[in-house]
Amino acid sequence: MTIFTYARVSTLDQDTGYQEEALKAAYPDAVHRQEKKSGTSTKGRDILELLLDMMGKDDKLVVWKLDRLARNVGDLCRIVERLTEKGAALEILDQRIDTSTATGRAFLQMLGVFAEFETNLRKERQLAGIKQAKAKGIHMGRPKLLTDKQKAEIRQLYTKGTTPKVLAEQFKVSRATIYNVTAPTKGRAAS
């Protein structure tokens, strides 16, 4: 029997340290792996995929919390099914769930439903907040780099022969922005 631990965070600037400490304290002799990938899907999570491929009969995958492994019931069920087919188990330290028992499997499925429900509620609140902000006229997304007046000025200077490099320096934007502003579009003749 081999125990594999899996720690995950969503972004490169986050740290798996807290998870790894808990996993190593529970299973100091386990094979410990960590990954910095989004958890919204199991796609692209190469370390998790490698662990699932490596596991065999009586092996166990241990994670700190359920959401470090899967954020929706579908992914969770697929992972548990793969482990079950291999005769392996899943343990979630924080919730004290072990799928090597019937109670553990049932409890894990209930937690998965609630985790997905929470994620969906969070998305709904986020969309409602965005809609409310837009209704109030609040600009969403990246701030505009140039005003319409500046864009018109750039086009005028460009038609007079000012180079994109000089324009980029003058307006403190990238040359790509200058190229986008000066590119011919429908309704505007190319100069």
pLDDT digits (tens, 9 = 90+) for 69-109: 887 777 887 888 899 899 999 999 988 888 888 888 788 77
pLDDT tens per residue across span 2-11:
999 999 988 8
| Nearest alpha-carbon partner for 66 in 14, 12, 112 | 112
**pLDDT score, position 122:** 86
Question: Which of 10, 38, 41, 100 is the catalytic position?
Answer: 10
Q: In b/e form, how buried is each residue of 4-40, taking b as 16+ CB within 10 angstroms? A: bbbbbbeeeeeebeebbebbeeebeebebbbbbbebe
**pLDDT score, position 191:** 39
**pLDDT score, position 187:** 47
Mean pLDDT computed over every residue of the chain: 86
| Nearest alpha-carbon partner for 36 in 74, 6, 60 | 6
Whole-model pTM over 0.75:
no
**174 in active site:** no
Task: Read off the pLDDT of each residue in 47-65 and give the average, rounded to a whole number.
Answer: 93
